[in-house]
């Protein structure tokens, strides 16, 4: 809980640097032609968008999810939206 509060208060570059040093990269996924990198930091799951989709470039934005339950709900919603878009 304290980690979440402190992490959210950090500047974007510092958040990503901390993720890369202390977190675990779970993988990546594609969304709207972009590669999104997913990290785990204790009970936080963080999606990171980088310039040119390159982890060595400047981070552009983060999406922070607290807990595995929230991550699963988010990914299920994303998957259903993608299915809906490709069906019609």
Q: How far, CA to CA in Å, does 75 sit from each of 5, 31, 83?
A: 23, 11, 12
Per-residue pLDDT reduced to its tens digit, 35-47: 999 999 999 999 9
Q: Based on DSSP, count helices (H) and strands (E) in the chain, helices before strands.
A: 3, 4
d(CA 60, CA 42): 22
Residue-range domain boundaries for the chain: 2-87
**Which CATH topology does 2-87 take?**
Nuclear Transport Factor 2; Chain: A, (3.10.450)
Q: Within a 13 Å sphere around the CA of 23, how many CA atoms are in the beta-carbon half? A: 24
Give mean pLDDT, residues 43-53.
96
Per-residue pLDDT reduced to its tens digit, 18-35: 999 999 999 999 988 999
Predicted confidence (pLDDT) at residue 85 exceeds the cutoff of 70: no
Reported confidence tier of residue 86, pLDDT bands at 50, 70, 90: low
């Amino acid at each position: 809980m304290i980690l979440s509060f402190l992490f959210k208060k950090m500047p974007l570059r510092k958040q990503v640097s901390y993720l890369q040093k202390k977190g675990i990269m779970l993988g990546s996924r594609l969304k709207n032609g972009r590669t999104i990198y997913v990290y785990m930091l204790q009970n936080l799951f963080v999606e990171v968008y980088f310039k040119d989709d390159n982890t060595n470039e400047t981070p552009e934005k983060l999406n922070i999810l607290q807990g595995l339950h929230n991550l699963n709900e988010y990914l299920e919603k994303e998957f259903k939206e993608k299915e809906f878009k490709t069906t019609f």
